[in-house]
Amino acid sequence: MRKIIAAFENLSKVSGKIASFMVIPLTLVVIYTVIMRRFFGNSPDWGFEVTIFIFGIMILLMGADTLRTKGHITVDVIQPLIKGKASLILSTFVNLLIVITSFFLLIKGFELAIESTRIMEHSAHQTSFNPPIWWFKWFIPIGALLLWLQSLVELYKLWFEGRE
């Protein structure tokens, strides 16, 4: 079981690393678009949508690694007041919410991606760029799958870590 846990955590780590490098092209596209608009009065049609694609992919791939490193924002008002079994129950409840939510996001995202691919969907922003977006929608179930796997790992670690 330990090898499976390590593999899922490594998958989250790799996807997070890939996503972290996407900030470079994102920054370059934003800078280029701003310079073209500010100094030449004509920003490229593709600038807006390409930033949406890059940022969206970055966020969807980063979720699992953020969960792995405990980087999500939490409100620690109740948790420090609770000890023992009650703390375990609260943490279990929170982790189960993540498991369930990411699973439904995986299923619905998969359905959305299939339908988008079936109709070869294009952008709704009505620009002359008008890129296909069906490929982009596949990152929703991919990101959800990564998050779901990592959330299962977190739930396992909560209950079984140190008991093997």
The predicted-structure confidence for 106-148, as pLDDT tens digits, reads as follows 999 999 999 999 999 999 887 788 899 999 999 999 999 999 9
**Section 47-51 average pLDDT:** 92
Q: What is the pLDDT of residue 164?
A: 39
**Section 13-26 average pLDDT:** 97
The predicted-structure confidence for 64-115, as pLDDT tens digits, reads as follows 999 999 887 776 777 778 888 888 888 899 899 999 999 999 999 999 999 9
**Section 26-40 average pLDDT:** 96
159 has a pLDDT exceeding 60: yes
Q: What is the pLDDT of residue 75?
A: 66
| Ranges of each domain in the chain | 2-160
Q: What is the DSSP string of the chain?
A: -HHHHHHHHHHHHHHHHHHHHTHHHHHHHHHHHHHHHHHHS---HHHHHHHHHHHHHHHHHHHHHHHHTT-S----SSGGG--THHHHHHHHHHHHHHHHHHHHHHHHHHHHHHHHHHTT-B-SS--SS--B-HHHHTHHHHHHHHHHHHHHHHHHHHHHTT--
Q: What is the pLDDT of residue 78?
A: 76
